[in-house]
Structure 1
Amino acid sequence: MKVSLLTFGTRGDVHPFVALGAGLKARGHEVDLATSTDFKAMVEEAGLNFREIPGSGADYFAAPAVIKSIRKSPSSIRTAMVMPRPTVDEVADSLEKMYEAGQDADFMLNNLITRGSGYAGPGVPWGTVSWWPITPTREFRAYKTPDLPLGPAYTRFTHSMAAQLEWAFNRPAVNRFRGRKGLPKVSKSPVGLLGHEQPVFYPYSPHFLPPPADWPEHTHVTGYWYWQRPDRQPPADLVDFLDSGSKPIVLALGSAWPVYGEETLALVRDAVRHAKRRLIVVGGPEGDRPDDEFRVQEVDYGWLFPQVAAVIHGATFGTTADVLRSGVPQVTVPCWADGPYWADRLAELGVSPAPVPFQKMTGEQVRAAVTAVVDDQRYTERAAELGTRVRADRGVETACDLIEAWVRRAEA
């Protein structure tokens, strides 16, 4: 069969789709992966067919107004208001590219930013991926909704609120695209059909966040999607650094480095030295390299993280997945979007101290968190236990099984 995967955003939005695509290809399926040209090399390294979606996810964090907004507040809505915003016609043009990418596929899979490709009517069976729960439940509130003591009815209502917001975002471009195709406009939100008429895939571990009992049949928590990249030799000088002393701590802030900046690096450097540890910085601003610090622009987290004492990160979906798999404790400094959501969950599970929110971060807070994660063995023990369970998940394999079953069902 042929599968079309559509994703857009930062590396954390693309890497899991590459992992799934590689898994499908290993089973003999043909896979197209449509995303921005930022990740063309990664897609082709995995042996997948690259299809372009116009634009660049990296542009979002590079915009001064976005950086300023996130430094004031972690609110995704606030930041969305100042992000570079394409016109309705530009989004409709992108939907055209996604439509073309899915036309000869047996199944199409999208995510948050590309979900409009499903609402637009692709004409092929499709499903969606979400990095956080979007399926209505009475067990917990929708992502980023107010915590009010109004009982289960309110809890479930928050999911309706979130669905309407998503549809309001997608509706103009979806209906513009459908008009070009001679299709009728969609007036009622189709978001509520997800998990019923289209499958929803949550590529995180059920040991990290168990699925609620009231979720519909076609809503699946699969386990994380990890890509076993072709063998690469790690930097020899990094290997030497790891071997030359006690286990260091890693600071990995990914595509959000422009927001965190040199101030965060300085606070973390001070806290790590206070804990009498060495530091590995992945990415980040250029600068001096002290003897107790190693700087690397890119490295395989699956290789590096199991060898360190702890990882300091923003708790975004992708890095959280890699640290959980490694089985090492964490310090979270969330700045926006899903970071605060997952940081709270990590603390609940006992694999990290309480989050240190970026907007209110002080040197004292960072010092306390780093000292706690180094000195308190309970974090290390709990992280190792949870890591064993996460590694036992069959995330990619489970998702492949479900996609194959859905295609067989569609063909029946």
Structure 2
Amino acid sequence: MAERYDVALVAVGTHGDVLPFIALGHELAQRGHGVSLAAPAPFEAMARRAGLAFEPLGTVADYEAVIRQPDLWHPQQGFRPMFDYALQVVEATCLWLGATRARGVDLRVVASPLSWGARLAQDLYDLPTATLHVMPFLIESRYDPPRLPGLALPRILPASWRAYVNLGVDAVAVGPFTLPPLNAIRARLGLDPVNRLRHWWNSPSRMLLMFPDWYAAPQPDWPAQAVQLGFPLVDRFGDVPAMPPELDAFLAAGEPPIVFTYGSAMRQGAAFFDTAVQVCQRMGRRGVLLAPQGGQIPKPLPAGLIHLPYAPLSTLLPRSAALVHHGGVGTVAQALAAGIPQLVVPVAFDHFDEGRRLKDRNLGTTLSRRAFRPARAARVLGRLLADPVVARATAAARARMAEGRDAIARACDQVEALGAARQT
């Protein structure tokens, strides 16, 4: 076993951002390292169930205030509430890491891209730090630029032009409200200003990319410190670690259902789930509706449909026919592992980019929120379920996912190598 040391994990975001860190921490703890997770307060129970010490970033009320903002689910404005939250916890994160270091702890840090306090601590204290990315959307490239939410540039445009537009969006929409407060903190600490947020938030030491090369091919201009590891399948660390008995009974009672989810943080999904009910009725299919808040679900539900706040997708989706969802990368990965087609109804963030990647690989397709209506959605799902090209592509994806299930273990190897490099 590698030499024992302490690892501080810092994750800012929702379930899809935080659960991979909990899985990583669990594996590192199994290897004998001391592990602490700093994350939004609602994730404390999940972290402690995985055996991790926990440092809350803000309160439960702070987190709820963010995810209840309607702008969070706006294609162009969605990033702002989450970036505001990231700014709120910068100093607390940096102080926590500084205090840990001051106790003489041999410390390594793994941080999400929005964990700016960890990058600040790296610059201030020279802490060995890796940035962990769960989505290709946040990796810039002139050769394969990600599709930004609400910005449907024609694919016929050269990639370099689309990348240039992306840079312009950063400069106009992101920099003006994030860089001044961030640089004010840096100035107080005696650090030079940051010019581009999406360049600086990557650790110059190591970047761990948690998606496979067959889903997002490595590009010549990716940072040299980037290491591609594969999808983490980590839902066993989520709200419910096992299949709820009522769902198990429902699945056993009939044909595989269509599963509908709009993400763990969604609070404005009533129209989506209303359409979901009508789609199932039009198609004569059973359906599973996953939503943390029952207020989003029509009542009473017709026969053949069931609502649950949460279910482990790793056990649900292999017994399902298709998945309709927002396009979060963690949900995408679970459907790929199950080998079922996906219909993405994108909202914000990386959803549009993930939908484009699925469509390009014949693994599913997309419908805009406006186009997601019962008749059209039923037709699209019917075509996906009947298309032999989609069936072959999803079967191939399932096989590839089965071959790459040790992504978390490989990420742990990289963290241990980061520590070893520090000691030489």
Shift of 1:361: 2.6
Q: Give 1:334's match in structure 2, choosing from 321, 341, 346.
A: 346
Q: CA offset at residue 153 of structure 1?
A: 4.8
Which of 364, 368, 383 is matched with 1:357 structurally? 368
Q: Which position in structure 1 is the counterpart of 2:97?
A: 99
2:68 aligns with: 62
Q: Is it true that 1:22 corresponds to 2:6 in the alignment?
A: no
Cα shift at 1:46: 0.7
Is residue 2:5 matched to residue 1:6?
A: no
Matched with 2:78 is 79
Query: Quick check: 1:206 aligned with 2:218?
Result: no
Q: Residues of 2 paired with 1:134 and 1:369: CA distance?
A: 29
* Match status 1:306 vs 2:318: yes
Contact residue 325 and residue 387 of structure 1 kept, 8 A: yes
TM-align CA RMSD? 3.0
Which position in structure 2 is the counterpart of 1:375? 386
Aligned-partner SS, 1:225: coil
Deviates more, 1:231-240 or 1:209-218: 231-240
- Quote the residue 1:108 is aligned against: 109
Match of 1:244 among 241, 253, 259: 253
Residue 45 (structure 1) aligned to one of 45, 49, 54 = 49
Matched letter for residue 41 of structure 1:
A
- Per the alignment, residue 141 of structure 2 pairs with 137
Deviations 1:140-163 (A, max 9, x none): 125527747774654554565566
C-alpha distance in structure 2 between counterparts of 1:269 and 1:339, whole Å: 22
Where 1:289 maps in the other structure, the secondary structure is coil
Structure 1 stretch displaced more, 125-134 or 17-26: 125-134
Change (3 A) 1:334 1:368: same
Alpha-carbon distance in structure 2 between the residues aligned to 1:96 and 1:81: 21
1:323 paired residue number: 335
CA, structure 1 residues 396+194, in 2 after alignment: closer, same or farther (shift >3 Å)?
A: same
Tell me, what secondary structure is at the counterpart of 1:220? strand
Question: Per-residue displacement from partner, 1:312-346 (whole Å, max 9, x unpaired)?
Answer: 11111221121112221111111111111101111
In the other structure, the counterpart of 1:280 is 288
Output the TM-score relative to the length of structure 2. 0.84
Residue 220 of structure 1 corresponds to which residue in structure 2? 227
* Pairwise CA distance, 1:173: 3.8
Q: What runs of 5+ residues in structure 1 fail to find an aligned partner? A: none
Residue 347 of structure 1: CA displacement?
1.1
1:113 to partner: Cα distance: 1.9
CA distance in 2, matches of 1:201, 1:166: 24
Name the CA shift for 1:95/1:61 in 2 (closer, same or farther; >3 Å).
Answer: same
1:68-114 residue CA offsets vs partner (Å, 9 max, x unmatched): xx4xx522xx23457794696x4454344553476345321211321
Match in the other structure for 2:267: 258
* Residue equivalent to 2:119: 118
* Deviation sequence 1:216-273 (CA, Å, 0-9, x none): 3311221112237379552222212111111111111123542221x22121222222
2:280–2:287 Cα contact (<8 Å) kept = yes
Rate the CA distance shift 1:61–1:87 in 2: closer, same or farther, 3 A.
closer
- 1:334 is paired with a residue of what secondary structure? coil
SS of equivalent to 1:259: coil
Rounded to whole Å, the distance in 2 between the matches of 1:210 and 1:84 is 28
CA distance in 1 between partners of 2:379 and 2:99 (Å): 50
Whole-angstrom CA distance in 2 between matches of 1:48 and 1:107:
15
Distance 1:243 1:151, change over 3 A: closer
2:185 to 154, 177, 180: 177
Distance verdict in 2 for CA 1:5–1:105, change over 3 Å: farther
Give the partner amino acid of 2:338: S
The residue that corresponds to 2:193 in the other structure is 186
Partner SS, residue 288 of structure 2? strand
Name structure 2 gaps, 5 residues minimum: none
Q: Secondary structure in 2 aligned to 1:140?
A: coil
Q: Which residue identity is paired with 2:20?
A: P
CA contact (8 A) 1:127 1:199 kept: yes
Shift in CA distance, 225/403, structure 1 to aligned 2, threshold 3 Å? same
Greater displacement, 195-204 / 307-316: 195-204
Tell me, what secondary structure is at the counterpart of 1:281?
strand
Query: Taking structure 1 as reference, are residues 276 and 151 closer, same or farther at Cα in structure 2, changes over 3 Å only?
Result: closer
- Which amino acid is 1:13 matched to? D
Residues 177 and 248 of structure 1: CA distance in aligned 2, closer, same or farther (over 3 Å): same
Comparing 15-24 with 140-149, which one deviates more in the overlay?
140-149
Alpha-carbon distance, 1:308 to partner: 0.7
CA distance in 2, matches of 1:318, 1:292: 27
Of 339-348 and 51-60, more deviation after overlay is shown by 51-60
